[in-house]
Amino acid sequence: MKQEEGRRKKEEGSVLPVSGGRRLLMPVVPCLTWHVIAVFLFSMFYSLFSPLCIYADEAAGLKAKIAGRGEDARSSLKQLVQFYVGRVDHDGLISYLKTLADAGYEPLPEIYFYIAEAQVAQIGHWRRTKDWESVYDKAAGLRKDAVSYLRRAEEALAGEHHALRLEIKFLKWRLTYEENPEAGVGLFNDFSNTARDLPAEPGIWQLLERFDDEVAALNDDSLLRRFEDILLAAAQSRSVSDAELKASAEKFLEKKRASAARKLFLVYLERQKNDKARFVEEALRLAGRFGSDDSGAAQDASFAEELYNKASVTGGLSVLDMDAHYRRAFNLERMKDYEKAVQAYKDFAVSYAESPRRGEVYFRMGVLAAFGLKDMAAGEEYFSKAKDFSKGRLAAAALYHLGLIHHAKAEIDQAREFYKAALSTLKSGGFSAEKEELGLLAGERLKELDEKKDMKYGLRLFLDAVLQGATGPGGPPSVSVTAQPATQIVGKPVVFRVDALVSDTGCMAPEYTYEWAGMLGGMANIPGTPELTVEYVSSGLHVACVAVVGPQGPEAVRHSSIAGLPVTKASPDKPDDVSVAGVGFEIVDIEGAEAATEPAPQAKDKKADKPSKSTAVSRALEAFTPSEMTTD
Amino acid sequence: MTKAPVKKVHIKTLKNNHYQLIVDGAPFVVRGVCYNPVPIGQSHDYDFWSDANEPWKKDGELMKKMGVNTVRFYQPGENFGAVRQVVSDMYRLYGIRTIMGNWLKFWNYPAPFYDDKDFRDKVKAEVFDMVRALKEEPGILFWVLGNENNFSFSGKINPWSSPRIDKLGDPRQCMLARAESYYTLINEIAREIHKIDPAHPVAMGNGELVCLDVANQFAPAVDILACIIYRGKTFGNLFDNLRQVYDKPLVFVEFGCDAYNAARQEEDEDDQAAFLEWQWSEIYRNLAENPKGAGNCIGGAIFEWTDEWWKHKDYDANGLSVHDTESHWSNGSYYFDIQAERNMNMNEEWFGIVKIEKASGSGLDSRTPRKAYYVIREFWKHPRDVKEDAKRK
């Protein structure tokens, strides 16, 4: 009953307004308007459905070409496969290809391969869309079917289809690998051998690049390394042009695949050997790309150094311009190769004696020599030069570190003088010694001297170990501190991380404590943590130090046996006989606007004092005039 | 028409001291799921047994396809007629048996006073009513008494005590006294059930192996230990340890892995599936007749069948329709997302091997099996030793 009523109402509603409306409108609307409406409606229809029409037309056109078996049949087939895969119509593709296969269409190997490929793509699609029912209920059958088609493709393959042969081998391995990676090893070897034995042929390199993307997506590092070797072999075969090789290597570098990039760039560089200038230019460019950037992060710092070395061996040290000189030294510093870093910084200072960066460079040398090479005399010499070639905070920092060296050696009077000089340098630079970390540290040291107290616990442990440089039985662990980033702006966090490598404890990690000291932006020492996050409020170079204190063990640099100074406990709960397992330090460069202190006008011009590293050298070169060579 | 007589379900001790659950004369491995399918928008007070949508029929079908042979209920409803119907439907239509649990008034307010005679009598009466009402149902597999009630002994969860216990003073002595009181109650109930219903074993639901040394002394009448275990991928030394502490057949009545990665903050079907496969692999290694294991396991029930959207802030009515991603507790054994903020990585609302979504039109939420559903389905068809496989690789 209700249904009948509803239908009647619907019919009434549809008849009256339409017929009545039409009768009213017709006399007043010109015929032209109806044309416009018709055109509009047609265009709406076309815009909505034309893509489908075009697709259908395109597919039909391609199919006609394939059926025509003309010269473009093969490329049409490829296009049609892409067309279907792009629309995720795997069923449609498989069905069409099977029709061709059943009809005995040539080239059959391609048809069989494309069927298998479509089946694999179908399984991949199910996985991506989490269609688990299909993955677990249908994939096994489809995979088996695909293996059978690949076998048929291989059997039907004529000798010259190298690319297709490679594709078949790769897909066969992929199919097995997905099911059982272990069982796929043999097939990977088969693929690898096929790839290596292939004669140079256009398109193979692009194919390998595509495979590489697929292998990379599997997150299997050892497999990826093996695949890189295949790429390397192909690159060495010279079937790849220089441009292709370079572009590929660049792509790997972009993708942070340093290992693959390094291998390909080495082949590429080898090819440039006959053109010395080009070789050097490219080597230096690549060294910059692989080496430590401003943040201290590197794609492959040691490869960068290898490239700097290659460039300078080929063209002499003079091929390194000021920028390259500095970057090489900085790269070595980040690699913790202090000896070479000091030498590289020295080369820079000698080669560019008029650079405004000399102060910074000497300061870095001072830190590396004193704390890294444990050569206090050299450290003292470099800090002295840093003081001479800089002003403001940097000069004060150099003076403070000179004070520390003398303090550690129990040369109390000299230490006191340097601390005082650091304070007065700060003041004369317009900085508040009460607000500046450096001023507070120098004041703290002076107070310790005045009150005949031992140095702050963590700093004392650090300097003791540096001074003694002793190694216990079994050797001390290798301690390294890494700041991330190494260049930061004021008020932003820098994370210091300690890595202590111990060789003689097996898998048992000793329970170390970490005594942090140095310039920590006022951050309190948290002894239990190997990681410290610091936010600096003033710009300039900052040196953070850590003493890694071990359980009583083989490390044994004993705090109680220091050179000459009265040893007092830092606090009742701090033992006066501890073993320092090792020490580490890191230099960070803080840039940007001041947060806590207001520097004097002359110190505000930070660019003149120390340019930011990112454009430091070029800016220095542009801005440098002899009159800027000022000293305190 | 009279119902077919219920055949005895019992534990058989083999010559090698392995334990086997025998059902209708044949060995039976519990391939179970915890079944508490609270619909989206409802809370723990949802009356599953009277749900006109009959969710057990949709679920039973899916469970049967997966190979599930047992469901575990935590507590029957008050209407035993409705409960009997569900148990019967599950068994008759899908061949799925029921482990029927009872909370033993653990979540009653005020706290459960297991040391109080009146309270104990009330608990017993409730359990015996349940057994009498359901024992004739052919689908009943066994009874489970309690669920992690032992975690209350230390007073950290749902604390209870008595003047007698408080007098002891020493916290450890108090804890042991509570354990003794509780396990004695369990023993009394188990003995009485054996009289009322000799056809079905009695299991005790215990969180981890906590206080089982006390149970060993005071609850010998229990037939099966039903453990609730969240140890990540592996159960570790649990099987061997149990042989030393409380040598009873073991069934897991809760174990599993959530399907939410709290570190990456996204659904994670892969890790859930992988962890569950490892766990099942260990269960199978420790079944009777497997020389590699302890031979004391009789199966398990995965926690759980569907997600339960009500669990996070169940007091907030709006939250009942939200699939919350805030984690509830921390467990480092589930290492894949332990790097989540504050190490909070366990998501109570995401333990289902079947996810639910509000379905338009139908009163029943839609069910979509997660990857784990299929992985465990395949595992049950072709059990393998995942650990051995991993070693070979």
Residue-wise pLDDT for A593-622, tens only, equals 554 343 433 333 333 333 334 333 333 323
Confidence of residue B224 (pLDDT cuts 50, 70, 90): very high
- Whether the predicted pLDDT of B365 surpasses 80: yes
pLDDT at A510: 58
**Which comes out higher in pLDDT, residue B227 or B393?**
B227
pLDDT score, position A184: 85
Q: Which residue has the higher pLDDT, A568 or B163?
A: B163
Q: Please state whether the predicted TM-score (pTM) of the whole model is above 0.80.
A: no
Dump pLDDT digits (tens) for B40-69. Answer: 999 989 999 999 999 999 999 999 999 999
In this predicted structure, the answer to whether residue A570 has a pLDDT above a threshold of 80 is no
Return the SS3 of B99.
strand
Q: Is A22 an interface residue toward B (CB < 8 Å)?
A: no
User: Shortest Cα distance from B252 to chain A (angstroms)?
Assistant: 26
* Most confident by average pLDDT, A69-78, A259-268, B359-368: A259-268
Which residue is listed with tokens 């060995």?
A: B27
B380/A contact by beta carbon, under 8 A = no
Tens digit of each residue's pLDDT (9 = 90 or more) over A339-389: 999 999 999 999 998 898 999 999 999 999 999 998 999 999 999 999 999
**B373 interface with A at CB cutoff 8 Å:** yes
Residue pair A345/A353 in contact (Cβ under 8 Å)? The answer is: no
The tens digit of pLDDT for each residue in B243-299 reads 999 999 999 999 999 999 999 999 999 999 999 999 999 999 999 999 999 999 999
Q: Does the structure show a pLDDT above 50 at A455?
A: yes
What token pair was written down for B337? Answer: 């997302």
The Cα–Cα gap between A314 and B317 comes to 76
Q: Kindly report the number of other CB atoms within 10 A of residue B268's CB atom.
A: 23
Q: What is the pLDDT of residue A43?
A: 55
Question: Would you say residue A106 has pLDDT above 80?
Answer: no
Buried b (16+ CB within 10 A) or exposed e, A91-116: eebbebbeebbeeebebbbbbbbbbb
| Residues written for chain B | 393
- Could you identify the residue written with the tokens 């392995």? B18
Chain A CA closest to residue B354: A132
DSSP H helical segments within chain B, as ranges? 55-66, 80-94, 117-134, 163-166, 171-196, 212-218, 238-245, 269-285, 371-381, 386-392
pLDDT tens sequence across A84-102: 988 889 999 999 999 888 8
pLDDT above 70 (res A130): yes
**Cα-based angle A249, A255, A260 (whole degrees, multiple of 5):** 40
Query: A186-190, A293-297, A472-476, B159-163: which has the minimum mean pLDDT?
Result: A472-476
B204 pLDDT tier (thresholds 50, 70, 90)? very high
Give the phi and the psi of residue B35 in degrees, each rounded to 5: -120, 105
Q: How far is Cα A355 from Cα A345, in angstroms, rounded to an integer?
A: 12
Give the list of residues 6+ apart from residue A57 with CB closer than 8 angstroms, or none. Answer: none
Please state the rounded mean pLDDT for residues A37-46. Answer: 54
Chain A's closest residue to B268, CA to CA, is: A130
pLDDT at A63 over 50: yes
What chain A residue is nearest to B378 in terms of C-alpha separation? Answer: A136
A226 compared with A39, residue with greater pLDDT: A226
User: Which amino acid is located at A114 in the chain?
Assistant: Y
Residues in B 266-285 with any Cβ partner in A closer than 8 A: 269
Inter-chain touch A181–B371, beta carbons under 8 Å: no
SS3 A56: helix
Chain B residue with the nearest C-alpha to that of A136: B374
Q: Is A380 left (phi over 0), alpha (psi -120 to 50) or beta?
A: alpha
- Parallel, antiparallel or unpaired: strands B26-27 and B140-145: unpaired
Distance from CA of A127 to the nearest CA of B (A): 10
Instruction: Name the residue with higher pLDDT: A74 or B20.
Output: B20
Query: pLDDT: is B188 or A408 the higher one?
Result: B188
Q: Is some CB atom of chain A closer than 8 A to the CB atom of B235? A: no
Q: Using the beta-carbon criterion (under 8 Å), do B377 and A136 form an inter-chain contact? A: yes
The answer to whether A129 faces chain B, any CB pair under 8 Å, is no
| Region of poorest pLDDT, from A106-110, B27-31, B112-116, B375-379 | A106-110
pLDDT at A505 > cutoff 60: no
In this prediction, residue A38 carries a pLDDT of: 58
Percentage of chain A with pLDDT > 90?
44
Looking at per-residue pLDDT, the higher value among A159 and A623 belongs to A159
Cα–Cα distance list, A48 to A37, A55, A61, A215, B183 (Å): 16, 13, 21, 40, 73
Q: Give me the residue from B269, B377, B392 closest to A130, CB to CB.
A: B269
Q: Exposure string (b/e) for B88-105, b if CB count within 10 Å is 16 or more?
A: bbbbeebebbbbbbbbbb
Between A and B, how many CB-CB pairs are < 8 A?
A: 20
Strands (E), B211-338: 224-228, 250-254, 260-261, 266-267, 297-302
Strands across the sheet with A478-484, in order? A478-484, A493-501, A531-535
Contact A133 B374 (CB under 8 A): yes
Q: Which pLDDT belongs to residue B2? A: 56
Nearest to A135 among B374, B392, B393 (CB): B374
What per-residue confidence (pLDDT) applies to A35?
Answer: 57
Backbone angles phi, psi at A475, to 5 degrees: 80, 150
Chain B interface includes A182 (CB < 8 A): yes
Q: Would you give the DSSP letter of residue A503?
A: S
Interface mutation vs chain B, best among A130, A131, A132, most B CBs within 10 Å: A132
Window 132-151 of A: residues touching B by CB (8 A cutoff) are 132-133, 135-137
Give B15-18 contacts, CB < 8 A, sequence gap 24+. Answer: B16/B295, B17/B295, B18/B287, B18/B288, B18/B289, B18/B295, B18/B296
Give dist(CA A530, CA A516) in Å, integer.
Answer: 9
Looking at the predicted structure, is the pLDDT value of residue B203 above 90? yes
d(C-alpha A401, C-alpha A418), whole Å: 8
Instruction: Give the one of A136, A181, A182 whose C-beta lies nearest to B374's C-beta.
Output: A136
Residue A582 CA to residue A476 CA, distance in Å, equals: 6
Cα separation, A271 vs A282, in Å, equals 11
Phi-psi region of B85 (alpha: psi -120 to 50; beta: other; left: phi over 0): alpha
Helix, strand or coil for residue B307?
Answer: coil
ipTM: 0.79
DSSP string, A448-461: HHHTTPPPPHHHHH
Q: How far apart are CA B11 and CA B201, in angstroms?
A: 8
Using 50, 70 and 90 to split pLDDT, how confident is the model at B380? very high
Token digits for B270? 């892969």
Smallest CA–CA distance, residue B339 to chain A, in Å, is 16
The shortest CB-CB distance from B393 to any of A133, A136, A182 is to A182
The answer on pLDDT for B147 being more than 90 is: yes
**Which pLDDT value is given to residue A471?**
46
Nearest CA in chain A to B390: A182
Rounded to the nearest integer, the mean pLDDT of chain A is: 79
Ordered alpha helix ranges (H), B27-162: 55-66, 80-94, 117-134
**Burial of B372 from C-beta contacts in 10 A (0-12 / 13-18 / 19+):** buried
